[in-house]
Amino acid sequence: MPEFLSLVTPEEALQQLFTRIRPEIKSEKIATTDALNRITAEDIISPQDLPDFRRSTVDGYAVMAKDTHGASESLPAYLKLVGEVLMGKRAPITLASSQCVLIHTGGMLPEGADAVVMLEDTQALDSGEIEIYRPTASGENLIEIGEDVSAGEVVVSRGTRLRPAEIGGLMALGITTLKAVRPPLLALISSGDEVIPPDQTPTPGQVRDVNSYTLASLIQKLGGEAVHYGIIPDSRNAMRKALSRALGECDHVIVTAGSSASARDLTAEIMNELGSPGVLVHGLHIKPGKPTILALAGNQVMIGLPGNPVSALVIAQVLVKPILEHYLGIERRRPHPAIEAELTLNVSSQAGREDWLPVKLVEHDGGKLLAEPVFGKSNLIFILARADGLVRIPPPVTGLEAGSLVSVRLLD
């Protein structure tokens, strides 16, 4: 087993893991209405053209574009009004030259029309004619058949996390069910004689369990399913029993605490015993989160996170998120939301170590965004509750100067 403090970067840790695993993607059929934030398990093909009829994008008059050429306010074109297209109905007539039809936004163009004149560029006359004050080009103010999507086109590719836009698009095509990746089950184990459930009142020396709930919330948001295994005392037998049970019932396991170098923390040793290849990494070149463990039992990942809430949540953002996305089969990876801001204070960093700095975003006069560092020790959970995002300080850098522009990775 690699010894603690044989440190690697988060990128190196992920590379060690990803070269050893081949995720088995399991799918399930679900209603599209329940698919928000789920990952598609297959390409979704459009069964039809969208739209499947030519429709107007404005209120106005459907015309033959050639009948409006040269029209102006001083020399309008005159077209005979021959009817109206009712919403949700097929146009009742075929348009002839020098004729027009009243049409509303979204209405179906009549046969013979190839453009729509906007209502504000016209004037209705008592004679039943319409004055046209502006020329139109063929195809103006209308949507052609299949302009949005063509029949047979891949509208959502496999491995895509579904957003409201995709849900709406699928409904427009009548796709009411789809195959989604089954959420991986991640077991959450908290350890420590001092840790108690949140609904209990701590006595001196005790603390309430925080990590199980922050991690469960993040896992759910990322598309996984968290399974709580409770709080395990600092006992080899109890931890081994809990880890063995979790590996038998879930896809992966996260243990908080028990990953420091102290003799009482046996997490890495037990993980190394429970499957091959065992512990891959014990210690990251990062702050916060240095005493992190990454292990494998076959194709199941075991992660040991520091007990300090800030450390655990930062490592979850940096390490757990990409691992979960890998097992979800996400192929279309959108950039992580980030925003540029001006750092308000000088910040020091140790060369050779990757630091993640919590910051609060403040809008300054004129709309400029400022990034105010939120300082504090890694066992203070409200540091992250007060922060809007994290600033990465790369290993070669010894600090950042006030006034420098930084990329703030918004917290999930």
**Amino acid type, 41:** A
User: What's the pLDDT at 336?
Assistant: 77
User: What's the pLDDT at 261?
Assistant: 56
In the chain, domain spans? 10-26+182-327, 30-46+158-181, 55-143, 338-410
C-alpha closest to that of 351 among 405, 283, 292, 287: 287
Mean pLDDT of the chain: 91
User: What's the pLDDT at 264?
Assistant: 43
* CATH code, 338-410: 2.40.340.10
Q: Is 100:62 a contact under the CB 8 Å cutoff? A: yes
Q: Which residue has the tokens 């063929």?
A: 138
User: What's the pLDDT at 6?
Assistant: 73
* CATH code, 10-26+182-327: 3.40.980.10
Q: What is the pLDDT of residues 312-325, one digit of tens each?
A: 999 999 999 999 99
* Regions of the chain with pLDDT less than 50: 1-4, 263-264
User: What's the pLDDT at 131?
Assistant: 97
Which CATH superfamily hosts domain 55-143?
A: Molybdopterin biosynthesis moea protein, domain 3. (2.170.190.11)
Distances (CA, A) of 295 to 103, 218, 302: 65, 21, 5
The model's pTM? 0.81
**Amino acid type, 155:** V
Q: What is the pLDDT of residues 313-356, one digit of tens each?
A: 999 999 999 999 999 999 877 777 888 999 999 999 888 888 99
User: What's the pLDDT at 303?
Assistant: 96
User: What's the pLDDT at 263?
Assistant: 35
